Amino acid sequence: MSHAEADHDTRRSRQWLAGEARGAGVDRDRLLELGAAMAALTAAADEREPVAVAPAPVGVDPGIAKPLPPDLLRPLDTNAEMRWTALAGQGYVVPNDRFFVRNHTVTPHLDADTWRLRLFGTGLRGAPTRDAPVEFGLDDLRRLPAEESTALLECAGNGRRYFAEQQDDPAPGVAWGLGGVGVARWRGVRLGTVLRLAGLRDDAVDVMPEGLDPDYVTGGVNLGRVRRPLPIAKALDDVLLAYEMNGEPLPADHGFPVRVVVPGWIGISSIKWVGPVEVSTTPLFSPWNTRFYRMFGPGHPAEGTVLGAQPVKSAFELAWDARVPAGAELLLRGRSWSGNGPIDRVEVDTGDGWRPADLVAADRGGPWQRWTARWRPPAPGRYTVRARATDTTGTTQPDRATPNTLAYLFDGIVHHPITAL
Ligand code: MTE
């Protein structure tokens, strides 16, 4: 799945460079200009001290609808990351009250009664236009066969802060710890079902869902609504138009009334608050597949290279610098996941070498893997615990992640501090 994503992106990026891009916000020269401006900005940022982001008042964020209790979520600019301690003692999925929120702007409050999914474009029979689309209301979607999918969503910038903190590689952008990830049980209708009902043509190649949140403006440039194309093969495969999350109507922050869920692909593909959906017989582009979510920097060409699958990561369900009793046996718990496929094994190091963790058997083959490891901190003092996972493709987390300008895809082994008292 993820390889398909990389292949698609490579192909589209070649077409984009060949000048086949069209539409607002995707002009090639303009985007290359933006890229250069971004590189300059980043270079300037490299020379500055890291700037602390002023936290929103505790428990409140004007752009996020749900409460942000500090024990569950940590506000980060327009976003909120899950605290890993909030998963301790929880089941396989992340409850909605603590699921991370990644908003380019703010959570819109949409009216389910007037909301419409609006499909248009040359890839549908009769080529309906944006102004006269094929429409579906929420009730229409609910009447179609429903499906459930337990899928992982992860921001491509998850773990970004460890580039700077652990590797001394300054990283601009939202300083996610490891809490920009979550697994939920999504329920909805297959995008493919709706595309076919809307009159999908055999020669359609791309589908681009667009969010109804405000336009995204960055560096003084309005890039329009958050949107990102999907190849038709993926759109017809396992992509859902979800209206429920963990058995509840989709919460406002997670895309109410309907969002796209693209299993296995980076989080930006899963467009929230979806409204318009363009279906096209020619490739589609947006700043979210040409300008962002690409690797820039040393070793990459000026236009960047594709962002492939999410790499392997591991996290302990523990507070950062947790306090634990010295001399008592602890059961360390954590989770590991990979965009390449299921996790095969996990090892933990508490200071005296790597040893295998015990995997929760019920999770085998799923989008993430819970594990445990026993440890008795021998004496009071400061310790570092580390976890590293290997996925079924044989890829193991490295000691250091490879830096890139926009600081995506951190996969290094995180050094988690613990104090035994
Ligand atoms: N869709 C819209 N319309 N606007 C957004 O800002 N953010 C994307 C994606 N879909 C976004 C969006 C990103 S970058 C991620 S990682 C996921 O939504 C996060 O989903 P969540 O907020 O439900 O956790």
Dihedral pair phi/psi, residue 214, rounded to 5°: -60, 160
Supply the DSSP symbol for 52. P
Q: Are residues 288 and 318 in the same domain?
A: no
Q: Are residues 245 and 330 in the same domain?
A: no
Q: Whose CA is nearest to atom 13 of ligand 1?
A: 268
Residues contacting residue 392 through CB under 8 Å, at least 6 positions apart: 340, 341, 342, 343, 344
Q: Which helix (H) or strand (E) holds 241?
A: strand 240-245
DSSP per-residue codes, 325-341 = -TTS-EEEEEEEE-TTS
Atom of ligand 1 at shortest range from CA of 266? 16
Q: Are residues 330 and 265 in the same domain?
A: no
How many whole angstroms from 105 Cα to the centroid of ligand 1? 10
Q: Are residues 177 and 210 in the same domain?
A: yes
pLDDT of residue 47: 31
Residues contacting residue 52 through CB under 8 Å, at least 6 positions apart: none
Provide the domain count of the chain: 2
pLDDT of residue 89: 87
Dihedral pair phi/psi, residue 195, rounded to 5°: -60, -45
Q: Residues 346, 332: contact at Cβ < 8 Å?
A: no
DSSP H helix total and E strand total for the chain: 7, 25
How many whole angstroms from 362 Cα to the centroid of ligand 1? 29
Residues contacting residue 94 through CB under 8 Å, at least 6 positions apart: 82, 87, 182, 183, 184
Span 264-280, pLDDT tens digits: 889 999 999 999 999 99
Of 284, 306, 328, the one marking the end of a domain is 306
How many whole angstroms from 255 Cα to the centroid of ligand 1? 8
Q: Domain of residue 344: give its range.
A: 313-420
> From the CB of 103, is ligand 1 less than 6 Å away?
yes
The CATH number assigned to the domain holding 386 equals: 2.60.40.650
The CATH number assigned to the domain holding 69 equals: 3.90.420.10
Taking the C-alpha atoms of residue 61 and residue 86, their distance in angstroms, rounded to an integer, is 19
- How is the chain split among helix, strand and coil, in percent rounded to 5? 20, 30, 50
Q: Which residues of the chain have pLDDT under 70?
A: 1-61, 306, 308
> From the CB of 100, is ligand 1 less than 6 Å away?
yes
Of 246, 279, 306, the one marking the end of a domain is 306
> From the CB of 260, is ligand 1 less than 6 Å away?
no
3-state secondary structure of 24: coil
Q: Are residues 359 and 212 in the same domain?
A: no
Q: The tokens 């460079």 sit on which residue? A: 17
User: 416: which strand partners?
Assistant: 385
Q: Whose CA is nearest to atom 8 of ligand 1?
A: 268
Q: Are residues 318 and 278 in the same domain?
A: no
Q: Are residues 153 and 301 in the same domain?
A: yes
> From the CB of 104, is ligand 1 less than 6 Å away?
yes
Q: Which of 64, 102, 106, 293 to mutate to test the pocket of ligand 1 (most atoms within 8 A of CB)?
A: 102
pLDDT of residue 292: 83
pLDDT of residue 5: 62
pLDDT of residue 305: 82
Q: Are residues 189 and 337 in the same domain?
A: no
pLDDT of residue 290: 81
Q: The tokens 């409050």 sit on which residue? A: 109
Q: Are residues 48 and 177 in the same domain?
A: yes
Q: Are residues 262 and 408 in the same domain?
A: no
Q: Are residues 365 and 389 in the same domain?
A: yes
pLDDT of residue 298: 86
Of 289, 306, 323, the one marking the end of a domain is 306
Q: Are residues 290 and 362 in the same domain?
A: no
